[in-house]
Amino acid sequence: MTTAERTPVLLDGVRTPFGKYLKGLSTLPSRELGAQALRALLERHEHLRRCDGVLLAQVLQGGQGQNPARQVAASAGVDPIVPALTLNNVCLGGMAAVADASRRVRLGEGTSYVVGGVDSMSRAPHVGYLRQGASMSGLNLIDSLSTDGLWCALVDESMGVLSERANAELDIDRHVQDDIALRSHERAAAARDAGRLAEEIVTVHVDGRTVEHDEGIRDTSRERLAALRPAFAEDGTITAGNSSQMTDGASIGAVTSAAAAERAGTRPLARIAGYAEVAGPDASLHLKPAVAVEQVLERAGVPLSAVALLEINEAFAGVVEASRRRLSVPLDIVNPNGGAIALGHPLGGTGFRLVLTLARELARRGERYGVASMCGGGGQGAAVLLENLN
């Protein structure tokens, strides 16, 4: 096989608008959110209906039926002979899909894969254990949104509490976090108004309405952010304003070989130049994106000084600040179009959104290298290195 046959590229990608928790997209199950995004992608690239595989992340899978990725593919019109795999390493799943597809291309197992992820946080079910019966006892239900999505199973506490402790240990104060939050909303609003977000968003149809824009972007101020109460500790620094929003949404794209992209007559968005996953030694989140960035750059032989743009998922503002400090990079190159504090964080739907947003911004600026990175529950992190081909 030629080098081009084993060189993975990001062919294209789209995402739904990200809807606020229990708001505009809340009546759509994850299957339909993912299917609407994938249908839009297939309209652009008909050949992907017969791709080599569909690799999609979903974190909140309880009660959703077998293999959600297969369900999304079937609903969107992918040929039923195409296999599908659902990934779940919590928030990292959308990036893991990109990595998995890239490895398959490099190994010559296939030449085109649908990748990405989806979650409806609004529709996460409450569940109960009834196998042994509930006779003579009350029935206590578990909120799967919390248990499966927002609660660290390793240390049995919320990721908010974990992150409050990390903020204190790393001396990241409330003012810094609120400043990052304000910057996120301002940058996201500017990107929306300039049409940059529209380049990656496809219209979603729900209950006879159309939704075209993200719902979480706020017109806020330092004063409004400063007035919010701490969310996880009485004297804490994390609030609803400086952490990611609970969200419904999907982001889906395609990883192919460079040769397959050429045969399809499509100029890819970027070359996938590397991927790294990291974990531990503890369950904290704050430094995991930075460690993953360091690892992927070392493997690729690319110096940090060559990286023009960074996407660091805004799970909490403190994560962005901690990783930025470790890497010694300015906020100017981080999340130039806003992040999850403004746009929202639909768990499995975020990882590919970061990669897609980065690829498009690299192309707009004509810069060569960028890295998308994020933390994940259980003390893990991931990063994807992209090289602009335009």
Active centre residues (catalytic):
91, 345, 375
Q: How far is Cα 334 from Cα 309, in angstroms, rounded to an integer?
A: 6
Yes or no: say if 315 and 381 are a contact pair by the CB < 8 Å rule: no
The DSSP output letter for 123 is: T
Task: Give which of 64, 100, 108, 68 is closest to 84, Cα–Cα.
Answer: 68
Quickly tell me which residue has 């990292």 as its tokens. 92
Helical H runs in 235-339?
A: 258-263, 288-300, 317-327
